[in-house]
């Protein structure tokens, strides 16, 4: 790789701290506490900012400076979150992370009075403040507070809520994840040899083209999930109860409302999205029917839904995947290529799987003045190549917000409603690069891969969202769900999008046990909206490369306005079912092309 001179396979966390015992951790902590105490002393009793726009601007400037430089102990909490994510089995790191998180909660509770007080501003003064020139810098931040205010509790109640969040939610979720990450089994691999493998490697083998390998891997996965199903039953009931209590205290009338409020999106928009996709579940059912025919079976086993079809057996080295991603991103926009190069060369991506490491892939960021990091579990599959593009898409989004002159710390970040736009946008250009100049056999294989990914992202995540609603509503009706109850609800919703060509066999009822998505309260709709919006943006850029400037505008916008308004600015109306159907029509056209190719290549009749 001429353009990228070197790369590191593991994180370099030194931009945060040099080590777990870096003396700067204590220094940073004390500075942060001092700034918080200074803010409280200045504004806790001085309420002039509730009536005077100039005083509110001054107070917001102070608050923004705290968020920009320290946040709620952001640097220390972020550092130990990453360290724990890299090795969930290290008890000493867990203890340090707990200490950092405890301080984070303490600081949030000290500062909470400010947001709660702003929320008490009467409607007349709200309108005055929103029109005031002095406050335009923070206009949307204020709009979001005013919108959320009716769900606020008292300061004392908010403090209790923050303090209990770990014991009532996070610790349960982390416990289950930690148990599963420790599991290992002796299992045959692609090379035909048996060896001890961790849970993430077993999950990867479930999608092996070798029936023997995938069946043995699935047997081991089923065994691990069954073993952990009792503790997962208690865990999921605890977090269902946690949200139920929250909703009752705050007067929220639906379990997904908290997500919509925090994502700055109207419930009606999400409802239109979910209902539109659900009405098009015929696409995914038709895909699985095709896949069953191609594998020569009447029905797919549940664990076979992601088995690759075609001749895409190529294994990619990390350097090959990096080179491909760089060429595509740099060709799309030089700034994109430059950001990716910086990540690869400076240890911002942890590539390789290992025992105790958090599964899957993610991009993590914790503030406008802190670096962004990516975690992967790279095993050399095509999916890993596109996953790299997906996660760097998030990182590019973060970088554009940080570079934007208009960005302040209170508008830094991106709504979950559109968080997946940048990632799927970048990922799809990798796919089209692979697709160009390829023969019919290769094209067929890639189209099957793309359809599999689209079904998993659009229809599957929609089914997951509906599954979550069913779980929460049933829990609120009965008071407790056994693992059999959860498994039944899980299988019902999986069958709804898969149809009759995928068997819900014994064992598949437990696959909710490891599915982390349903533990994060309704965020999965963001995958669905993200990919459909990104398809629209991709089509625009393909027709006119100058449209990339509108994409870059979106990338830099952050939370300066609502997602609905930001997209309206660039000509996209996410409130209309017609918009969502455009992306689904494109997906259906892709399926029709694939079916024709399958017949042309005599793979099906």
Co-location of 444 and 537 in the same domain: yes
Number of domains in the chain: 3
From 128, 151, 173, the end of a domain falls on 173
| Residues 191 and 169 both lie in one domain | no
Domain-embedded: residue 277: yes
| Nearest residue to 184 via CA among 164, 200, 168, 173 | 200
Instruction: Label residue 452 by pLDDT band (50, 70, 90).
Output: very high
Q: What is the pTM of this model?
A: 0.84
pLDDT in tens, 367-380: 999 999 999 999 88
Are 158 and 247 contained in the same domain? Answer: no
Q: Which residues contact 430 (CB under 8 A, 6 or more apart)?
A: 324, 325, 328, 385, 386, 389
Residue 221 confidence class, pLDDT cut points 50, 70, 90? very high
Give yes or no: residues 223 and 242 share one domain: no
**Cβ neighbours of residue 108 under 8 Å, at least 6 residues apart?**
72, 162
In this structure, the answer to whether residues 34 and 106 fall within a common structural domain is yes
Residues 87 and 188 grouped into a single domain: no
**Is residue 376 a contact partner of residue 350, using CB atoms and an 8 Å limit?**
yes
Q: Within a domain: residue 437?
A: yes
Q: Establish if 605 belongs to a structural domain.
A: yes
Q: Helix/strand/coil (H, E, C) string of 119-142?
A: HCCCHHHHHHHHHCHHHHHHHHHH
Instruction: Please state the rounded mean pLDDT for residues 195-210.
Output: 90
Instruction: Say if 331 falls within a structural domain.
Output: no
Q: Could you tell me if 152 and 278 lie in one domain?
A: no
Per residue in 225-259, pLDDT (tens digit) is 999 999 999 999 999 999 999 999 999 999 999 99
- Residue 16 belongs to a domain: no
Return all residues near 520 (Cβ < 8 A) that are at least 6 apart.
none
What mean pLDDT, rounded, does the chain reach? 92
CA distance 207 to 385: 16
Percentage, residues of the chain above pLDDT 70:
99
**Nearest Cα to Cα of residue 471 among 268, 304, 237, 272:** 237
219 part of a folded domain: yes
Residues 436 and 523 in one domain: yes
SS3 561: coil
Domain that holds residue 190: 184-227
271 and 222 in one domain?
no
Task: List the one residue out of 20, 158, 203, 210 whose CA is nearest residue 99.
Answer: 20
Return the number of other C-beta atoms located less than 10 Å from residue 306's C-beta: 18
Task: Tell me the two tokens of residue 94.
Answer: 């867990």
CA distances from 450 to 266, 280, 306, 334, 583 (A): 30, 18, 11, 26, 14
With tokens 């829990």, the residue in question is 475
Res 206: pLDDT: 92
Is 290 within a domain? yes
In a domain, 18, yes or no: no
């Amino acid at each position: 790789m001429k353009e990228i001179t070197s790369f590191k396979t593991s994180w370099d966390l030194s931009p945060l701290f040099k080590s777990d015992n870096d003396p700067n951790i204590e220094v940073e902590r004390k500075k942060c506490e001092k700034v918080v105490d200074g803010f409280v002393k200045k504004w806790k009793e001085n309420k002039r900012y509730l009536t005077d726009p100039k005083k509110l601007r001054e107070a917001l400037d102070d608050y923004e400076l705290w968020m920009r430089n320290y946040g709620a102990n952001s640097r220390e909490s972020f550092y130990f979150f990453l360290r724990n994510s890299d090795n969930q089995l290290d008890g000493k790191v867990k203890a340090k992370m707990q200490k950092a998180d405890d301080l984070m909660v303490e600081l949030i509770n000290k500062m909470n009075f400010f947001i709660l007080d702003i929320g008490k501003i009467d409607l007349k003064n709200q309108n005055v403040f929103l029109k005031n020139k002095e406050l335009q810098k923070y206009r949307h931040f204020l709009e979001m507070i005013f919108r959320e205010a009716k769900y606020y509790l008292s300061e004392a109640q908010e403090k209790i809520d923050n303090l209990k969040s770990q014991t009532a939610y996070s610790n349960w979720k982390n416990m289950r994840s930690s148990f599963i990450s420790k599991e290992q089994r002796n299992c045959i691999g692609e090379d035909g040899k048996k060896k001890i493998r961790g849970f993430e490697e077993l999950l990867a083998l479930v999608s092996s083209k070798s029936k023997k390998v995938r069946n043995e891997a699935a047997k081991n996965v089923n065994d691990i999930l069954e073993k952990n199903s009792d503790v997962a039953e208690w865990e999921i009931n605890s977090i269902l109860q946690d949200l139920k209590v929250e909703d009752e205290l705050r007067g929220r009338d639906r379990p997904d409302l908290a997500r919509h409020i925090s994502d700055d999106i109207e419930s009606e928009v999400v409802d239109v999205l979910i209902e539109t996709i659900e009405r098009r579940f015929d696409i995914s059912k038709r895909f699985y029917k095709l896949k069953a025919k191609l594998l020569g079976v009447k029905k797919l086993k549940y664990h076979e839904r992601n088995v690759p079809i075609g001749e895409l057996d190529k294994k990619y080295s990390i350097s090959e995947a990096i080179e491909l991603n760089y060429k595509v991103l740099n060709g799309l926009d030089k700034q994109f290529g430059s950001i990716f190069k910086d990540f690869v060369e400076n240890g911002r991506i942890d590539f390789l799987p290992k025992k105790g490491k958090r599964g899957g892939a993610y991009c993590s960021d914790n503030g406008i003045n802190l670096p962004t990091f990516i975690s992967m579990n790279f095993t050399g599959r095509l999916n890993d190549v596109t996953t790299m593009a997906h996660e760097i898409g998030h990182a590019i989004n973060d970088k554009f917000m940080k570079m934007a002159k208009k960005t302040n710390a209170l508008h830094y970040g991106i709504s979950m409603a559109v968080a997946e736009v940048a990632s799927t946008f970048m990922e799809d250009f990798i796919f089209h690069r692979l697709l160009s100049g390829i023969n019919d056999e290769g094209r067929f294989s890639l189209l099957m891969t793309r359809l599999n990914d689209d079904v998993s992202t659009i229809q599957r995540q929609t089914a997951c969202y509906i599954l979550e609603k069913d779980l929460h509503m049933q829990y609120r009706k009965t008071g407790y769900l056994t693992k059999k109850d959860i498994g039944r609800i899980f299988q019902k919703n999986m069958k709804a999008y898969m149809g009759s060509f995928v068997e819900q066999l014994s064992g598949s009822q437990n696959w909710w046990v490891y599915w982390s998505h349903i533990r994060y309260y309704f965020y999965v709709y963001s995958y669905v909206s993200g990919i459909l919006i990104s398809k629209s943006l991709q089509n625009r850029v393909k027709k006119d490369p100058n449209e990339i400037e509108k994409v870059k505008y979106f990338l830099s916008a952050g939370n300066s306005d609502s997602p609905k308004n930001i997209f309206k600015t660039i000509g996209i109306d996410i409130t209309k079912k017609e918009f969502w159907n455009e992306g689904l029509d494109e997906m259906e056209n892709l399926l029709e092309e694939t079916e024709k190719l399958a017949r042309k290549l005599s793979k099906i009749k």
